[in-house]
Chains A and B, each alone.
Chain A
Amino acid sequence: MPIIALDKLTKRYGRITALDRVSLTIEPGVIGLLGPNGAGKSTLISLLLGHTRITSGSGTVLGHDIGREQRSIRQQTGYVPESECFIPGMSGVGYVCYAGRLAGMSHSSAMQRAHEMLDLVELENERYRPVETYSAGMKQRVKLAQALVHDPQLVFLDEPTNGMDPRGRRLMLDLMKDLGRRGVSLLLSSHLLPDVEQVCESVIVLGRGRVLAEGLIEEMRRPSARRCGARIRGDAERFRSSLSRAGVEVCGEDGGGLDLLLPDDGRHDLVVRAAVEAGVQLRELRPQRSSLEQVFLEAIESQQGMKLGQSAEPARTGA
């Protein structure tokens, strides 16, 4: 059963159309939500959480109608907002426990589960200190804990690794992967494409209120069987001539590495032999695969109908 099903969902603020007849069916899993600023990502999450009213169209989350069954939806979903949100005056434990009680847990269940979640996000003795004293990374982690305390089926995350240093980011990403494995669905809205690549199985790209692309990341990245990249150390000239003798074409150079076009599918051995012949170290040999960033930029470019680099940012606020 799909976790989210939208049918021509539209949201207008005055004359601005933030979401334009969006129709989507999202299956359970870990999904990335991408799009430039103003594309409608925050609006979409707002609508799904019931924070704003739909202008037209309809949708369901976990089988419940967005317009009429908000309470049921919120019992089964969690939300990690982007901005620094916390309830004043409370310690980490108190905050997460309170969040559980607001979701409808009894005090003792909420308390027990709060500690469990704080263990999960690796907040040790800090949990007894007021949340006001936390660093940015700790605040992000405690936000995740409060979103999970009532064991939701679906969690919305908005820029969850914002402001975190590499270690904290790694922790959050590992947690998200673990959640996916345990059957909790995640909708991750982020600008950090490598994060999305690491954690999500599929993505949805929004642009100017419309869906520009959606699908499994692996399929969208189109691995190519004939292109590859190579990096060597040694006599570059000899290597290039060996390559051309083997029928491998050099398409370009990219920061120390060479872009190569093989004469046939999967003939990486030609590159290897050329390296032997030229007596160079073959330090890297990679199949060329478009990154998620390229997929994303291409989708935006095609919507804007022009080469990226000629347009300003889709300049709409309040989206």
Chain B
Amino acid sequence: MPVRRRGYHRWKGKLSSARWTWPAILSNGLRLGMKQKGASLLLWSGLPIAVVAGLLFYFMAVLEKQAVHPVQLPNELRFILWFLRMDRMPLLDIGRLIVPMWTLVFARLFQLELLLILLVQSKFGANQIAGDLRTDALPIYFSKPITVWTYLLGKWLIMMAFASAVMLVPNLVAYVAGVLLSDTVTQFRATAGLLARITAHSLLLAGLSSLIILALSSLTRDRRLVSVAWFAIALLPIAIQAVLDDAMPGKYATGLLGAVSLQRNFGRLTYWMLDVDGAVTSSGHAKLFGSAAGSGLYGAGLGYSVAVLAAITAVCLLICLKRVRRFQVAVTNA
């Protein structure tokens, strides 16, 4: 063919027969998310926490050796022990205290990472569906062979990826650091269960928060509104709680807000998944861990928390489905 004909040419390629095209949505969403200003900074910010945790594990390994070869402790180590609420603890039998101590460290880590997730979900997640609603992208999406479920799955996985970067990854890094910095094999055997738990819990928290931010994002076209709503949902109950605690020290108010506060519910879940109680009990030094142990910090009712979070999941899913399907009505308006 010496000259290429002008105009439209047909295509002789094949279309993938895979039922799901969410990888396209996922990779596209990740690329767009990373293009945002400050994206890398926010995603890497989980690692300093992991580094600190790693150092803590190192100190604990030092303590363990101390138990065998006692030496006067330097002030820095005293401070760290105080931070971990372990300062009143006699330096004996460290070996049995490793798992509880690690558990507590990870519990703290989760608390800090929840704050990061707050920021990550707001930055990357607020615009996921809201942006599509604002630019009316849904008719384009649904003229392609995808279903509503594919679309939502793809969006959810985008947010899971970003959330995992600040929750799962630092936890794994801390864990690996801890294992490597001490007597690897025994540490690993002792804490393998913990590894499974923190992985599962990281994924659970990332997944739930992703679902919530997606639902919020599908409710409006304005991503700033989504961010505000997200922060409100996450922080308001805590703030109100603090005020009420001062004003009315009764348990009634506390209990009610405890029901809806995300932080409380996630916290209870953390404690349960990490089996803090179990860890503390198995150490045989329940008193040593004082108020840090047990479910006393978060009030009773794990079942309650699970129910609330399950309800939130269902509600968010329904919201997403309903809002995304709604474009079909808009399309048909003459």
8 Å CB interface, A79-95 against B:
79, 81, 83-90
Determine if B333 is an interface residue (Cβ-Cβ < 8 Å).
yes
Bound: A47/B134 CA distance, A: 24
The digit string for B126-154, where 1 denotes a CB below 8 A from any CB of A, is: 01000110111111111111110000000
Determine if A37 is an interface residue (Cβ-Cβ < 8 Å).
yes
Whether A84 contacts B136 by the Cβ 8 Å rule is: yes
Q: Note all chain B residues with C-beta closer than 8 A to A148.
A: 8
Determine if A297 is an interface residue (Cβ-Cβ < 8 Å).
no
Q: Which of B21, B132, B333 contacts A102 (CB 8 A)?
A: B21
Q: Which of A42, A72, A74, A89 has the most CB of B within 10 A?
A: A89
Bound: A179/B7 CA distance, A: 8
Determine if B24 is an interface residue (Cβ-Cβ < 8 Å).
yes
The digit string for A256-297, where 1 denotes a CB below 8 A from any CB of B, is: 000000000000000000000000000000000000000000
Whether A38 contacts B144 by the Cβ 8 Å rule is: no
Closest B residue by C-beta to A75? B145
Whether B139 contacts A105 by the Cβ 8 Å rule is: no
Bound: A70/B136 CA distance, A: 21
Closest B residue by C-beta to A150? B15
Assuming the A-B contacts A52-B332, A101-B21, A106-B16, are A89 and B7 also in contact, with contact meaning beta carbons closer than 8 angstroms in the complex? Answer: no
- Expressed in whole angstroms, the minimum distance between the Cβ of A103 and any Cβ of chain B is 5
Whether A85 contacts B139 by the Cβ 8 Å rule is: yes
Q: Note all chain A residues with C-beta closer than 8 A to B327.
A: 51
Q: Note all chain B residues with C-beta closer than 8 A to A37.
A: 334
Bound: A146/B141 CA distance, A: 11
Q: Note all chain A residues with C-beta closer than 8 A to B40.
A: none
Closest A residue by C-beta to B135? A88
Bound: A85/B32 CA distance, A: 18
Whether B334 contacts A317 by the Cβ 8 Å rule is: yes
Bound: A78/B143 CA distance, A: 7
Q: Which of A49, A86, A143, A182 contacts B10 (CB 8 A)?
A: A182
Bound: A52/B11 CA distance, A: 30
Q: Note all chain A residues with C-beta closer than 8 A to B15.
A: 75, 103-105, 150
Whether B142 contacts A49 by the Cβ 8 Å rule is: yes
Whether B334 contacts A319 by the Cβ 8 Å rule is: yes
8 Å CB interface, B1-51 against A:
7-11, 13, 15-19, 21, 24-25, 28, 32, 35
Determine if B328 is an interface residue (Cβ-Cβ < 8 Å).
yes
Q: Which of A18, A98, A103 contacts B332 (CB 8 A)?
A: A18
Determine if A196 is an interface residue (Cβ-Cβ < 8 Å).
no
Q: Note all chain B residues with C-beta closer than 8 A to A319.
A: 332, 334
Closest B residue by C-beta to A37? B334
8 Å CB interface, A139-158 against B:
143, 146-148, 150-151
Q: Note all chain B residues with C-beta closer than 8 A to A102.
A: 21, 24-25, 141, 144-146
Closest B residue by C-beta to A113? B11
8 Å CB interface, A189-226 against B:
none
Whether A77 contacts B24 by the Cβ 8 Å rule is: no
Q: Which of A104, A113, A181 has the most CB of B within 10 A?
A: A104
Closest A residue by C-beta to B328? A51
Q: Which of A42, A85, A105, A109 contacts B136 (CB 8 A)?
A: A85
Determine if B331 is an interface residue (Cβ-Cβ < 8 Å).
yes
Q: A51-B331, A113-B13 are in contact. List 13 more A-B contacts (CB 8 A).
A: A42-B334, A49-B143, A51-B139, A51-B327, A75-B15, A87-B135, A87-B140, A89-B32, A102-B25, A105-B15, A151-B11, A184-B8, A184-B10
16 A-B residue pairs with Cβ-Cβ distance under 8 Å, sorted by A, are A49-B142, A52-B328, A74-B144, A79-B139, A86-B137, A88-B127, A104-B145, A105-B13, A109-B11, A109-B13, A113-B11, A146-B140, A147-B143, A184-B10, A316-B334, A318-B333
By Cβ-Cβ distance, the 7 closest A-B pairs, closest first, are A79-B143, A151-B11, A104-B15, A101-B24, A102-B144, A104-B16, A74-B145
